[in-house]
Structure 1
Amino acid sequence: MKTRGLLLLMIGSCLLGSCNKILDIENPTAVDEKDVWNDIELATAYANRIHAENLPGWTTDFADYSEESDGGGSYMYGQLTENSVDYWPYSEIRGINVLLSDIDKGKLSEANKKLLKGQAFFFRGWQFFEMAKRYGGIPLVLKPQQLTDDLLVNRNTTTETMARILADLDSAIAYLPAVAVGSGDNNGRVHKGTALAVKGRVLLFYASPQFDPAQNAPGRWQAAYDANKAAKDYLDGQGYGLFPSFTNLWFSEMNKEVIFVRRYQYVATNTASWNNWAAATRPLDISQGATGGNRPALEIVDAFPMKDGRAINDPATTYPYDAQYYWKNRDPRFNQTIVYNGALWQVGINGLEAGRMQWTFVGGEQNSPTITGFYMRKGVDTTQTSIQAFNSGTDWIELRYAELLLNLAEAANETDRIAEVYPLLTAIRARAGIDAGANNLYGLAPGMNKTQMRAAIRLERQIELAFEGKRFWDLRRWRAFETTLNGTRRHGHNVTLKVPKAQWDALKASMTPQQLYQHLQTNYTTYFQTTVKTVDTQFDILWKPEYYFFALPSKHLQLNSHLKQTNGWAGGSFDPLQ
């Protein structure tokens, strides 16, 4: 977080409150924890620590767990065990509970208490939700446990868990301040609009087939629609909306699309304030310290439509697709997301490298060449040197306005409000730069029924939110892994030179990068041959039904004999659908 005073005080250890002292400043005995709730600066520092410990951030993992990228291992090949997914943030939840339990004992003003409580309620709801989407029902620990308490708590039902998440978010909505775009208060801390939008996401999950496979739970989709509509209406009134530039929304900090964010800044003495996601995404030839993340599979490459918004295999498109010149006339988000052989990508070891082209042909890269034949450029700042990319200050946007529109669109469609969906999707496509078409539908088919619109929404999510950690969770909440991926394998491009290397090097030397790029727009196949290769070389993708609710790791069961294992896993007797 970059706000004044944020993270200046590192609030202490032993599960944030289980020790005698909460704050460790210069003198570890100088501040009694009771004093925290009498001093707004100390209390705010405590809340800032809650932000730091509970905010989500950059990760390359989730792209590997779908057809976006090439990894995923045990997730993709049916090899998960009960110990594979261990998300158990109860030490962080304890710190939140300390604030909620103790703040009323102090002398802070009611306004300050509400502000800090709102942040705590938000993050407790957030962490409970992060657990629930993995496991279903979880133990709802709502106060700081003491050694004299009964620590063998039971798993609450999923229904009880969701009710608590929503109650915490409702408390956050009531207590958190209204924050308008462009105001000094729009600094990265969670606010009322954040809580409203996250509530919409929670209810979208709860209405989805993961939590309701038969799709007959009354009222869930209506609740999701109401929550997302309320979030949109409120945020519209505060100035939020789609940022004009799809590419630059990651680099224009706290712009009007940003709803829920973790802010980063390189500070040499504090590694918690920077990330190395860009380094992991860049080619190793121009990176250091990390590489191999977010390498797009051909499946996501082919998912992007043409510039008129129609699919690459749609005979009605006004831009006929050419498999050898596959990058031409595509949805503009294609070239703002995907890097291919011969693409202009002005990112270098020493920062912006004007006219630089990326080569992924066999022999075109010196170190650790991409397996799929592609790289991913979203969120990769071309002005950063390789050192800066490893210590990147680029903010992570966990929830942005475009997702809110897509969440609302999905809930509207599932509640038979198909007419309301069109303007939500066309707004996103218009911002992307897709042709409006004579009917101003930006490539969407007119008169779609519910099933057709559902497919259109899911495709739009796949494209708009690519490599933002959403596709894995979407496939899971839709229970769509089996029908979408099982029995398939992911693919990539194998690109080889058709001319002698010396001839190719001479051609490059004779032209500027811009001239070479233009030359390849009509002469690419003179120099390169592209064939499709299989990336999953050993196994077909196999997603098992029990993965829709993961197992509790054995270490937690061993520590707490009252915890029941999830149905579908060895010894499982807990029904996550109840």
Structure 2
Amino acid sequence: MKNKYNLRTILSGAILTACLAACDPLGMEPTTIVDEDRFWEDAQLSRSYVNQFYLFVPGATGDTFQMEQWSDNATGWLDTQRDTYRQIDFNLRHYDPLNTVSCFSWSNIWNDVYKRIRSANLGIERISGSQYLKENDRKQLLAECYFFRGWFYFELEKYYGGVPYVDKSLSIFDETMIPRSSREFIFDKILSDMDQATALFNESGNQSSYGMISADVATAIKSRVALYAACAAEASAKGLYGNDESGKLFAFSKPASDYYRLAFNAAGALVGKYSLERNYEDLFTSETSYKSTESIWPVMFNKNVARFNPTGKVGVGPDNGLYYGTDKKWGAEFGAFPTEDLVECYYQKDAADGKWKQWWKTSQARDMGITAGENGTYSGTSADYRRLLYTDRDERFYATVVYDGSYLSASDNRKDMYLIQTWIDNTTDQDELMDNSALHTGYRVTANMDAPGGRASSITGYYMRKYAHFDKYNDDGTLNREQRQTCYFHIRYAEVLLNYVEASIKLGEGDAESKLNEIRDRAGLDKFDAAVVGHDLWEEYQLQRRVEFAFEVPAQRYFDLLRWGEADGKSVIPELNRGPKTMRIFRKGQERPTDEAQTKNFKPGTPAEVGEEGYFVPKIETVILTYDNYQKKFDNARYYFVPFSESMISSYSGLVQNPGWTGFNYK
């Protein structure tokens, strides 16, 4: 029996120049339905079929930045109405044994991705032998199908490791209880698909348009996949996952160096072919960033398609809820807050010797009387803390983070309505609301300083700036939530350089330091000097990769920590096994007048000046939150991968559970 395709479903994700009628007025077969053979005979429909793959976004990486909250780059809030900003269950590994994906707060990637894999396999089968497509177009479409099949398997591998491998479009008559393939086999198949895609792209001779897959995209993604495979091979060599039935699925026969070589060669093939965008911030705010010299695979924004749109998030976008128009009031909302852990990775230029170093090592820190506490915390006092703490930072800091005293607006628009303040007035009695604090802090009750509640204002002292849509308030005071015509990147040239650096360091060859210095130079930094920063080139690479891609889509920090952790054979990942580090700034706020006439002109959240009632020199301190709801847990190697649910294990004959999860007591 022939399949029939619903064109309305297929074409909904495609960009077409013509519309189809809803039905045939003569009462014949609807024109939105076409049988399978006729479908593949139409070049435009074949193109639209492949276009649907571009709508896929890796899990938990959208405009709510869930995956960034899994890492030490960010923490969310506790509002029970918006699970996307409340990653408690995932961070504390509260898996449901009957439905493990329920803790993710996003769709079941297993089912979703396998449906897409089947679609890619079907595309490969039907396009390969097509006699109705021009040869160059046939190879172009086929290349895209191979690429996306590998891309989809890569998504599964990150969560499950080795998975059942299917390279044909299964029917209801095929055996579907397919055993898991080894992790090495899956990686090799993904890399093979990238190679096949690259070869077909080159054979087609077609020039890909912006946002479409190309030979360079496949090569760049190959460099990323190969690094993941290399780390997995290192974990195997260290025996991290054991040698039982599940552990054998994670064993590698090839050494990690083979995969580092693949990454080195793939990235190296693109080095010099692109260049870094001179202004880092333009990558995330310019409407023409998709055409940047750094752009390799941009994802185009379209205001008519509900996809990635931080600006459109009601009350929780990076620039939504932080503005107050001309009438300041309570109610600032956001979702994912940058941590002090991340902010401390942005170097500061020492005013005394001009060298770029960690902020607590600078002369500015000495001027604030900074002293070190336990677990890498610091404290000090200064009336001039804003200048001393936040001036002359890495340029990427200002493009990524909003901090106390900064403006969430374009550099030429410094209106009070765009001023962000996160300082805390804790001079009230223990159980009283801190009504004199800045408007953008999440701390409101002195008694709850160690356990901030469910407010959607920052508990870290910072907000996100990337992708911010400046000047959201219109002249008439209304809020503009229209999606911006900018883009984000699945991969850009900066990652190619950094992938090259990682492989170069691991192989002990190439010019890793000079390529890393290209990244530093774009950020306004000087050349790497181990004596100044106090660590080696490998640690510097990890730091630069972290700050380069912070708060981007797809997020990288979480899975970077996982792959580096397993490569080192770690059962505990310290960065993912504690609460976030935060910045607290204490200063006196102006008291609300008791006289009604004076109250009309009073602006809440205004800091007291020297000589005003209750003034004291501002104090700063970094604090690691110990409140349970903000903790992260990674104290066992089982957490490198999610478990299969008990219901899936019982219904899927022969499915082997992931290492460490068999017989595990979820309670």
TM-score by length of structure 1 reads 0.80
Distance 1:258 1:147, change over 3 A: same
Bigger radius of gyration among the two: 2
Structure 2 counterpart of 1:361: 423
Structure 1 counterpart of 2:347: 305
Contact 1:193 1:231 in 2 (8 A): no
Pairwise CA distance, 1:409: 0.5
Distance 1:500 1:90, change over 3 A: same
Contact 1:54 1:127 in 2 (8 A): no
| 1:380 maps onto 2:476 in alignment | no
Pairwise CA distance, 1:342: 1.0
Deviations 1:48-87 (A, max 9, x none): 1122236776341011112111234233334345504542
Aligned residue runs from structure 1 range 71-470, under 5 A: 71=76, 72-82=87-97, 83-84=100-101, 86-88=108-110, 89-106=113-130, 107-177=132-202, 185-208=208-231, 212=235, 214=237, 218-234=254-270, 236-237=272-273, 240-250=274-284, 251=286, 252-254=288-290, 255-267=292-304, 270-272=305-307, 274=309, 279-282=316-319, 284-286=321-323, 291-307=333-349, 308-314=355-361, 322=368, 324=385, 325-346=388-409, 354=415, 356-362=418-424, 363-365=437-439, 368-384=456-472, 388-389=480-481, 391-417=483-509, 420-434=511-525, 436=526, 441-445=527-531, 452-468=536-552, 469-470=555-556
Contact 1:166 1:199 in 2 (8 A): yes
Whichever residue aligns with residue 74 of structure 2, its letter is S
Whichever residue aligns with residue 114 of structure 2, its letter is Y
Q: Which moved more, 1:120-129 or 1:492-501?
A: 492-501
Equivalent residue in structure 2 for 1:491, among 573, 581, 599: 581
Pairwise CA distance, 1:344: 2.2
Q: Which moved more, 1:157-166 or 1:492-501?
A: 492-501
Counterpart Cα distance in 1 of 2:148 and 2:479: 33
Deviations 1:85-138 (A, max 9, x none): 542111111111111111234321222111001001101100101111211111
Pairwise CA distance, 1:394: 3.3
Counterpart Cα distance in 2 of 1:11 and 1:326: 53
Contact 2:257 2:507 in 1 (8 A): yes
| 1:41 maps onto 2:65 in alignment | no
Whichever residue aligns with residue 52 of structure 2, its letter is R
Deviations 1:537-578 (A, max 9, x none): 127542032011221234543442232211211359xxxxxx
Contact 1:276 1:290 in 2 (8 A): no
Distance 1:142 1:260, change over 3 A: same
Whichever residue aligns with residue 560 of structure 2, its letter is D
Structure 1 counterpart of 2:557: 471
Which consecutive unaligned segments of at least 5 residues does structure 2 have? 1-6, 15-19, 24-29, 77-86, 239-251, 326-330, 350-354, 371-384, 425-436, 441-454
Counterpart Cα distance in 1 of 2:648 and 2:507: 40
Distance 1:186 1:244, change over 3 A: farther
Pairwise CA distance, 1:500: 2.5
TM-score by length of structure 2 reads 0.70
Structure 2 counterpart of 1:500: 590
Pairwise CA distance, 1:306: 1.4
Whichever residue aligns with residue 75 of structure 1, its letter is F
Counterpart Cα distance in 2 of 1:293 and 1:121: 36
Counterpart Cα distance in 1 of 2:591 and 2:253: 63
Counterpart Cα distance in 2 of 1:155 and 1:552: 12
Distance 1:54 1:383, change over 3 A: same
| 1:561 maps onto 2:653 in alignment | yes
Equivalent residue in structure 2 for 1:62, among 59, 67, 72: 67
Which consecutive unaligned segments of at least 5 residues does structure 1 have? 1-7, 17-22, 511-515, 573-578
Distance 1:456 1:222, change over 3 A: farther
- Percent of paired sites with the same residue: 24
Distance 1:320 1:496, change over 3 A: closer
Counterpart Cα distance in 2 of 1:290 and 1:154: 50
Aligned residues: 527
Contact 1:122 1:169 in 2 (8 A): yes
Whichever residue aligns with residue 357 of structure 2, its letter is R
Contact 1:290 1:390 in 2 (8 A): no
Counterpart Cα distance in 2 of 1:377 and 1:178: 42
Whichever residue aligns with residue 103 of structure 1, its letter is I
Distance 1:304 1:30, change over 3 A: closer
Q: Which moved more, 1:420-429 or 1:45-54?
A: 45-54
Contact 1:178 1:192 in 2 (8 A): no
Distance 1:501 1:176, change over 3 A: farther
Counterpart Cα distance in 1 of 2:343 and 2:158: 28
Structure 2 counterpart of 1:3: none
Counterpart Cα distance in 1 of 2:589 and 2:54: 56
Residue 141 of structure 1: SS of its match in structure 2?
coil
Structure 2 counterpart of 1:11: 10
Residue 260 of structure 1: SS of its match in structure 2?
strand
Whichever residue aligns with residue 208 of structure 1, its letter is C
